[in-house]
Structure 1
Amino acid sequence: MYQEKIITPPSGIRMIAVFFALILLCGLLAMATQSFLVLEIILIACGILILPGFIINNPNEAKVLTLFGQYVGTVKTDGFFWVNPLTIKRKVSLKARNLNGHQIKVNDKLGNPIEIAAVVVWQIKETAKATFAVEDYLQYVSIQSEAAVRHLANIFPYDNFEDEEATITLKDGAEKVSSLLEAELSERLSRAGIEVVEARISHLAYAQEIASAMLQRQQATAVIAARKLIVEGAVGMVEMALDRLSEKNIVELDEERKAAMVSNLLVVLCGDRNVQPVVNTGTLYN
């Protein structure tokens, strides 16, 4: 319904020559005789009507032309032109623009309140849709961008602490999340003839009411992961020590002595403090 039609109007230089020719002709007629008064008035009126038809189109700029409520076409070529002086001319910028979205509070897939914001780079691709399909394309971009960010936050968890099966999270899946956001925005804004150049998450954090609790949970998870790694390494080292002692025939250990050695080595390797040496003057059995 609002298919863009690109037109190239005649050069304005030619119409300037016609305008000055009319002025010169009026002057000559005025000096010649008064009997051409009506013709002079007509020529002057024609000259005045020519002036509103001149337009200057700058680079990355377009003029949308309408005549008596009907869409005539769009001038996208930069330069100096002349169009029908009765047409209404709307200037539309084709430059890329940034939308720095506001931080909004929304629940993620697991219901956790989070704060999220996005930066969208967009530009007008079809001037007819941007002019006639929506009331205000600037407001339309702002509202639809916020709606897309809210929808994206609702379908993915913030992280995979609570949802270990999640393959995409808002925190770690930056490239995939940005790609999905860009695709959804392109679909939403196509109605207004707007092309999404890039869309990125610019702010992501837990809401203030749960930020402290989530930080403690992340710290606890990090400590558990570190302890697990330490224990796995310590078990490997104890196993290697027992194997080497057995291979070298340095000492023969029964099951009770092995258990004591394993206990001591695990305490030394897994402890979070420096070990204090103890001299044993007795034996294991007294």
Structure 2
Amino acid sequence: MERRAFRLDGFLLAAGVLVLLGAAVVSALAAAPDPGAPVRVAGVAGAVLSGLLALLLTTGFTVISPNESRVIQFFGRYIGTVEHTGFSWTVPLTTKRRISLRVRNFETAKLKVNDADGNPVEIAAVVVYKVVEPAKAAFAVDDYEEYVAIQSEAAVRHLATTHPYDSHAPDTTSLRDGTEVAAELTDELRERTALAGVQVQEARITHLAYAPEIAQAMLVRQQAAQVVAARQQIVEGAVGMVGLALSRLAEQGVVELDEERRAAMVSNLLVVLCGDRAIQPVVNTGSLYG
């Protein structure tokens, strides 16, 4: 659909228009003394034709700024796009619709959506895009800016419903995984907006929070989950340290412990390593088993 329209240098055609206007003026002045003579009639006709031709040529002029384009229509028929920056001339009697090629960005409204776990969340995203096919942007949709805005909100809603706010498994992508979620949102928006000749450069989540009615409860849940995760890591580290201590004692023959004393030592070490408060040591001044 996209194609280049016929164009010429505008200054060259402007010089031609000035020549035609000058010829029209000269012909009109030559015919003024005796308008009834045959030669004078021809001069008047030449002046009129030159003036009309000059006027016709002026309808083809257009000025294009950097990162802009003009979609050219000749009596409703699309004949091409002009993207050459500067003063140009194209087919006369055409309409020239301006389409910006600049990079644009906007932020969606804060949407309230249920995530994949059914929890109500508030989410918003910023979308960066530009027009790459002006003809599609002009004719494929009524308003490409509104089209991009609506499709962006639809894509953000779809993204929120297919991912949980927090991931509960290592292989699950959550809405808080910024890089993965941004790539997925960008790819989906590119598919949705290609129809309008728009290319999405980037899309990222800018606001993500639980809805106010459950925010406090989910905060407590998050804190509890963090405490459990921290305790799990502490226990794993403590078990490794106890195992290391017992194996080193056995390898170096420092002391021999029976099963009961070994269990007591493991219990004491775990209390010391896993406790959340400072431990007061008790020094045994008697025998090993006293």
* TM-score, L = length of structure 1: 0.87
Say if 2:128 is the partner of 1:121.
Answer: yes
Report how far residue 6 of structure 1 moved.
0.9
* Aligned with residue 213 of structure 1, among 217, 225, 239: 217
Paired residue for 1:137? 144
Q: Paired residue for 1:103, among 101, 110, 120?
A: 110
Aligned counterparts of 1:266 and 1:274: Cα–Cα separation in 2: 13
Contact 1:57/1:79 (8 A) holds in 2: yes
Distance 2:208 2:72 in 1: 43
Is the partner of 2:276 in helix, strand or coil?
coil
CA contact (8 A) 1:106 1:114 kept: yes
Tell me what 1:5 maps to. Answer: 3
Q: What does residue 38 of structure 2 align with? A: none
Who is 2:84 aligned against?
Answer: 77
1:280 to partner: Cα distance: 6.3
Q: Which residue of 1 aligns with 2:94?
A: 87
Query: What displacement does 1:183 show?
Result: 1.7
Question: Does the Cα contact within 8 Å between 2:101 and 2:132 map onto a contact in 1?
Answer: yes
**Is 1:50–2:48 an aligned residue pair?**
no
- Look up the equivalent residue of 2:86 and give its one-letter code: G
C-alpha contact (below 8 Å) 1:101/1:119 kept by paired residues? yes
Do the aligned partners of residues 88 and 283 (structure 1) sit closer, same or farther apart at CA in structure 2, a change above 3 Å counting?
same
Relative distance call for 1:279 and 1:60 in structure 2 (3 A) is closer
AA in 2 matched with 1:27: V
**Contact map agreement 1:58 1:79 (CA 8 A) in 2:** yes
After TM superposition, list the pairs within 5 Å mapping 1:19-38 onto structure 2: 19-34=17-32, 35=35, 36-38=43-45
Cα 1:241–1:43 change in 2 (3 A) is closer
Q: Offset at 1:78? A: 1.8
Residue 66 of structure 1, aligned match among 47, 68, 73? 73
Tell me the TM-score normalized by structure 2: 0.86
Is the Cα–Cα contact under 8 Å of residues 157 and 166 in structure 1 kept in the other structure? no
Match of 1:170 in 2: 175
The match for 1:17 is 15
User: What residue ranges of structure 2 are gaps of 5+ in the alignment?
Assistant: 36-42
1:177-188 correspondence to structure 2 within 5 Å: 177-188=181-192
Q: Secondary structure at the match of 1:85?
A: coil
| Structure 1 Cα separation of the partners of residues 176 and 250 of structure 2 | 49
Deviations 1:198-257 (Å, cap 9, x if unpaired)? 222222222222222222222212211222222233333334444444555555544443
The answer to whether the Cα contact below 8 Å between 2:6 and 2:91 also exists between their aligned partners in 1 is no
Give the count of matched residue pairs: 281
